């Protein structure tokens, strides 16, 4: 359509998005966005997906982008429509997910301008100013002649460097203005957009690799963002170095890969944390190494190791010294560019059977202790998560909500076939998984999407169960029901004398009848509350051809174990190991807080 002569701005916006592979728009209709939404709907390659809440629309665009590896688009009206997008925008920003948010705005003649008043036009809101801190680019188009420049820059910003969301605010009269695309000023990207590695830094890294005897590789979300998963596997196999993974990167290595140590960090596994904390070299690729990974204070992280970080964002690399963690080498690079240049080098192949055996022996030493600490009467969520992962068919995507749901699943998640796990990893907004599942299903229709949500989180986006059921003939929802906010109750036990205010039914929470909820939205309903019911129910769950809602009743007493209590290094997870066993598993000198054994 671009190049076809003068057309309304709204139609040019839709056409440009289609040409960028972003013709699917997740929307909530509103007066100030009607022309944009109709333009997408009338385009022969456009698609409009109606949602029931603008927050869900933004989160669906996020899920679409993660699943399809394309730019997701969401459209909302002015005022509350635009402000409702903010939580979804923040999730995309902190996880570096490219989405384009289009907001309608009041006509330019009704904008406050320099009057100093709060509002003139109905539902007028300064959304651009509100999202400046959580977007890579945000602008209001005040002249239709700006259209091409703004659109081209927005898509460039969303996908270049460290990806992220952008927002374009378009007044109603601008949407209807007629312009000729070919006559508009075009955006010219900077000449150099790719971060190039410095050869000397690669040489320094190779020296460090040749000198170490107990190395560990950290795999992060940046590897997925750069689309270099297969190259990462080749690098790992070439170096023959054990790998620990962030939650966002758990699918990088299959379950049976001999170098896979599992998730690490404050909510990781004991075995992976012991490996990191006793290593002499940590090579982090595509991970921010935030406090969830390092623990607090971050100076306790891998304190006997040389530390190397590869990240595309220089500010992420610069932050370490500000918080007391000295890095031995930092390399600013896209993960894919770094890995490909490494593969061109003559790489050392690490061979230290003692290090491998030590990691294996640690894993075996803590298995029985963790199994004991997780025993409860009733359905065990860790056992359920393990069976869910193992029973899932190929081409399955798990969209998992926050709280205990993500902690329980990531403990067991290791892909057996072509499986992926998605989560709002850094913003961790309750209610993300339902709309993200919708977006994921639209983004990749050849895969099975499964929404795993807690009873607290489902209340945040329950209205879009209707959209999920209507858009996906095989929609699958798993509700992990622990009668409130179990992760919060665990914190209240540690700090607030087990006073479960606002985190339990006794503390004031009220929940609906989920069987009636499922039926009202057109789902078949199944309920389980014992371990014996898990395997036969999951067999039916995966083969069922209808939208299905599996209600998994978890005891209120179920908690996350192990996890790091604030103030302890990540090798010393609670419930604490017996001190003699803990000391036996440590090669690095334990900190005083660990040697005392005080606290849980």
Task: Calculate mean pLDDT across residues 252-280.
Answer: 95
Common-topology check for domains 7-183 and 378-553: yes
Nearest to 31 by CA among 215, 176, 239, 145: 176
> How does pLDDT run across 440-466, given as a tens digit for each residue?
999 999 999 999 999 999 999 999 999
Q: How many CB atoms lie within 10 A of CB 126?
A: 15
Give the list of residues 6+ apart from residue 330 with CB closer than 8 angstroms, or none: 308, 309, 310, 311, 317, 320
CATH fold of 199-365 reads Rossmann fold (3.40.50)
pLDDT bucket at 5, cuts 50 / 70 / 90: confident
Q: Is the pLDDT confidence value at 227 over 80?
A: yes
Residue 1 has pLDDT above 60, yes or no: no
CATH number of 7-183: 3.40.50.970
Residue position matching structure tokens 């270099």: 228
Cβ-Cβ contacts under 8 Å for 171 (sequence gap 6 or more): 32, 104, 105, 106, 107, 108, 111, 140, 141, 142
What's the confidence (pLDDT) of residue 138?
98
At 599 the pLDDT is 53
At 440 the pLDDT is 97
Average predicted confidence (pLDDT) for the chain: 95
Element (H, E) at 54: helix 54-68
- The average pLDDT across 349-360 equals 95
The mean per-residue pLDDT over the stretch 410-439 comes to 94
pLDDT number for residue 192: 65
The mean per-residue pLDDT over the stretch 515-539 comes to: 97
Categorise residue 167: left if φ over 0, alpha if ψ from -120 to 50, beta otherwise. beta
pLDDT digit string, tens, across residues 55-110: 999 999 999 999 999 999 999 999 999 999 999 999 999 999 999 999 999 999 99
Flag whether pLDDT at 600 surpasses 60.
no
Band of residue 176 on the pLDDT scale cut at 50, 70, 90: very high
Q: Distance between CA atoms of 282 and 496, rounded to whole angstroms? A: 37
Are 467 and 438 in contact, with CB atoms under 8 Å apart?
A: yes
Yes or no: say if 439 and 67 are a contact pair by the CB < 8 Å rule: yes
Quote the pLDDT of residue 105.
Answer: 97
Q: How far is CA 174 from the centre of its chain?
A: 35
In the beta sheet, which residues pair with residue 422?
A: 399
pLDDT above 80 for 11: yes
Choose among 223, 221, 186, 208: nearest CA to 335: 223
Name 100's bridge partners: 73, 166
pLDDT of amino acid 415: 85
pLDDT interval class at 198 (50, 70, 90): confident
Q: How many CB atoms lie within 10 A of CB 102?
A: 28
- Over the Cα atoms of the chain, what is R_g? 25
Check if the beta carbon of residue 68 is closer than 8 Å to that of residue 17.
no
pLDDT at 149 exceeding the cut of 90: yes
Q: Is 490 helix (H, G, I), strand (E, B) or coil?
A: helix
Residue % of the chain over a pLDDT of 90: 91
User: CB within 8 A of 268, min separation 6: which ones?
Assistant: 244, 262, 570
Query: In the structure encoding, which two tokens stand for residue 335, read together?
Result: 């993960």
Burial annotation 10-49 (CB, 10 A radius, 16+ → b, else e):
bbbbbbbbbebebbbbbbbebebbbbbbbbbeebeebebb
State the pLDDT confidence band at 234, using cuts at 50, 70 and 90: very high
Domain boundaries 378-553, corresponding CATH code = 3.40.50.970
Percentage of the residues of the chain whose pLDDT score is greater than 70 = 98
Mean pLDDT of 484-511: 95
Domain boundaries, the chain: 7-183, 199-365, 378-553
- Residue 414: band (very low, low, confident or very high) from pLDDT cuts 50, 70, 90: confident
Assess contact for 104 and 130: CB atoms under 8 A. no
């Amino acid at each position: 359509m671009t190049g076809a002569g003068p057309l309304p701005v709204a139609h040019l916006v839709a056409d440009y998005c289609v040409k960028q592979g972003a013709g699917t728009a997740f929307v909530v209709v509103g007066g100030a966005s009607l022309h944009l939404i109709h333009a997408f709907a009338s385009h022969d390659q456009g698609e409009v997906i109606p949602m029931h809440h603008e927050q869900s629309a933004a989160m669906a665009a996020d899920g679409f982008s993660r699943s399809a590896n394309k730019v997701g688009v969401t459209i909302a009206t002015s005022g509350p429509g635009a402000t409702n997008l903010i939580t979804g925008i923040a999730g995309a920003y902190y996880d570096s997910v490219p989405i384009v948010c289009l907001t309608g705005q009041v006509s330019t003649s009704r904008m406050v301008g320099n009057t100093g008043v709060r509002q003139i036009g109905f539902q007028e809101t300064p959304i651009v100013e509100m999202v400046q801190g959580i977007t890579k680019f945000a602008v209001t188009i005040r002249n239709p002649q700006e259209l091409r420049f703004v659109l081209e820059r927005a898509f460039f910003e969303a996908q270049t460097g460290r990806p992220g969301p952008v927002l374009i605010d378009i007044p109603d009269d601008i949407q209807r203005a007629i312009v000729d695309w070919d006559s508009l000023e075009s955006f010219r990207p900077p000449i150099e957009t790719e971060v190039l590695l410095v050869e000397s830094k690669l040489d320094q890294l190779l020296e460090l690799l040749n000198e170490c005897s107990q190395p560990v590789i950290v795999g992060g979300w940046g590897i997925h963002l750069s689309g270099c998963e297969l190259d990462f596997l080749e690098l790992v196999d070439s170096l023959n170095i054990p790998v620990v993974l962030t939650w966002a990167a758990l699918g990088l290595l299959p379950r049976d890969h001999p170098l896979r140590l599992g998730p690490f960090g404050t909510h990781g596994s004991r075995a992976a944390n012991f490996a990191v904390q006793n290593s002499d070299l940590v090579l982090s690729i595509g991970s921010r190494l935030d406090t969830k990974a390092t623990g607090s204070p971050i100076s306790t992280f891998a304190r006997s190791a040389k530390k190397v970080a590869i990240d595309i964002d220089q500010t992420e690399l610069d932050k370490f010294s500000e918080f007391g963690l000295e890095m031995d080498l930092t390399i600013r690079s896209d993960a894919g560019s770094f890995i490909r240049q490494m593969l061109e080098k003559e790489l050392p192949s690490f061979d230290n059977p003692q290090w491998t055996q030590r990691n294996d022996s640690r894993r075996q030493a803590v298995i029985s202790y963790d199994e004991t600490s997780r025993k409860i009467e009733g359905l065990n969520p860790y056992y359920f998560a393990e069976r869910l992962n193992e029973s899932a068919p190929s081409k399955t995507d798990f969209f998992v909500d926050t709280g205990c749901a993500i902690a329980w699943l990531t403990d067991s998640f290791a892909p057996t076939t072509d499986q992926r796990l998605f989560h709002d990893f850094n913003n961790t907004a309750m209610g993300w998984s339902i709309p993200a599942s919708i977006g994921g299903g639209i983004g990749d229709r050849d895969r099975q999407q499964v929404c795993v949500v807690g009873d607290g989180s489902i209340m945040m986006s329950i209205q879009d169960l209707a959209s999920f059921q209507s858009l996906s003939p095989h929609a699958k929802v798993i509700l992990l029901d622990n009668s409130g906010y179990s992760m919060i109750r665990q914190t209240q036990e540690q700090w607030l004398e087990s006073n479960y205010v606002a985190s339990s039914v006794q503390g004031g929470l009220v929940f609906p009848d989920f069987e009636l909820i499922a039926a009202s939205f057109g789902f078949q309903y199944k309920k389980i509350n014992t371990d014996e019911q898990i395997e036969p129910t999951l067999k039916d769950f995966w083969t069922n051809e209808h939208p299905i809602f599996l209600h998994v009743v978890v005891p209120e007493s179920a908690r996350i174990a192990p996890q790091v209590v604030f103030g302890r290094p990540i090798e010393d997870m609670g419930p604490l190991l017996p001190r003699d066993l803990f000391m036996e598993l440590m090669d690095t000198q334990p900190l005083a807080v660990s040697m005392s054994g005080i606290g849980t």
